[in-house]
Amino acid sequence: MRRNGTSALALTAILMSTAAVRAETKDMRIAFSNNYAGNSWRQAMLKSYGAVAQKAVDDKIIAGSDVFTTADKEVPTQAAQIQNLILQGYNAIVINAASPNALNGAVKQACDAGIVVVSFDGIVTEPCAYRVTVDYRALAAAEIDYLATRLPKGGSLLEIRGVAGTSIDDDFHNGIQDGLKKHPDFKVVNSVEGDWDETTAQKAVATVLPSLPPVVGVVDQGGDGYGAAQAFKTAGRPFPIIIMGNRQDELAWWVDQKKANGYETWSASSAPGVATLAFWVAQQVLDGRKDIPHDIVDPYLAFTQETVEAALPKIPVGGVATIEYSLDDSKKIIADSVKK
């Protein structure tokens, strides 16, 4: 028998072939291994991931998606966590990693067990893993570029770093160095560890301020702009140009200062919702899609003097500007990455 020019036998063959390529994910489970949750960005990340993953469970796209955050920021703790997830039989593991290299052994064990691994934000370098990246190095270099437009004669800068040992901290620091080579009139006179957290940053900056010459700018990694401002205020020193990181509290401070005295700066960060893109990448790999590159780039979000006031009311108090990706959004980003 033939229908529309296709035999029943041929139609069966096509359907079988399609089924072989398109794996069902409704019975599969995805785990999330997260190494740190101690700031507003990470809290927003967990909230976004949880909402999108739970909807995928409710819609019967996957069977389950569990989130595991380590009790500390140590690599051995997260490595043990990943090994435990392997034993629990998850089909995929999404990772925000404590180290780009030190987790590679555990990641390779997962891959060897047939588990899909997708790292993001804090990525891993193990070749078997997929990586959803934000170009933090370019973002950091752009901070210096911005300062150069405002301060063509250069000056002394304070650098606030993030969580030591992560790929994020390394990329940001290297990007700052790239910017300094391009604009040699600037010099970093001190560097402190802020852990992407306002309170930690405020204490760290307050500790070093008495020993610093006049500072014209603060370059950082996000989650520390408001804390830095408070440290300068407490010390009775004039506010330098502090680069912001899309947190609601620092953008609110910026807007208040802008209205009061015309204060100008720039803000940029990755969106916490990048976690949802990593989730869908894992689901798509499990679903049998073969053209997904191992490196997918998610653009960072930035706000300017002209756009910050309109953006601020859309950000929850205590939250971070973000984007949550749908499956269709993620498919488009994947397709764009394939084209590149």
Domain regions of the chain by residue span: 9-134+272-299, 136-269
The one-character DSSP state at 264 is -
Residues 6 or more apart whose CB falls under 8 angstroms from that of 112 comprise none
Q: Residues 70, 42: contact at Cβ < 8 Å?
A: no
Give the mean pLDDT of 150-163.
97
**Which of 247, 217, 251, 248 is CA-nearest to residue 232?**
217
Per-residue model confidence (pLDDT) at position 21? 37
CATH of the domain spanning 136-269: 3.40.50.2300
pTM of the model: 0.84
- Cα separation of 211 and 192, whole Å? 13
| Tokens standing for residue 270 | 């990755």
Q: pLDDT tens digit string along 160-180?
A: 999 999 999 999 999 999 999
Q: pLDDT tens digit string along 34-51?
A: 999 989 999 999 999 999
Would 9-134+272-299 and 136-269 be classified into the same CATH topology? yes
Q: pLDDT tens digit string along 95-116?
A: 999 999 999 999 999 999 999 9
Output the CA torsion 149→151→154→156 (10° steps): -120
What CATH superfamily classification does 9-134+272-299 receive?
Response regulator (3.40.50.2300)
Give the mean pLDDT of 228-253.
97
231: pLDDT strictly greater than 70: yes
- Cα separation of 252 and 309, whole Å? 9
Could you tell me the end-to-end alpha-carbon distance of the chain, in angstroms, rounded to an integer?
Answer: 45
- Cα separation of 295 and 293, whole Å? 5
Give the pLDDT band of residue 337 (cuts 50, 70, 90).
confident
| Sign of torsion over alpha carbons 116, 120, 125, 127 | positive
Give the mean pLDDT of 254-281.
97
**Ramachandran angles phi, psi of 113, nearest 5°:** -85, 5
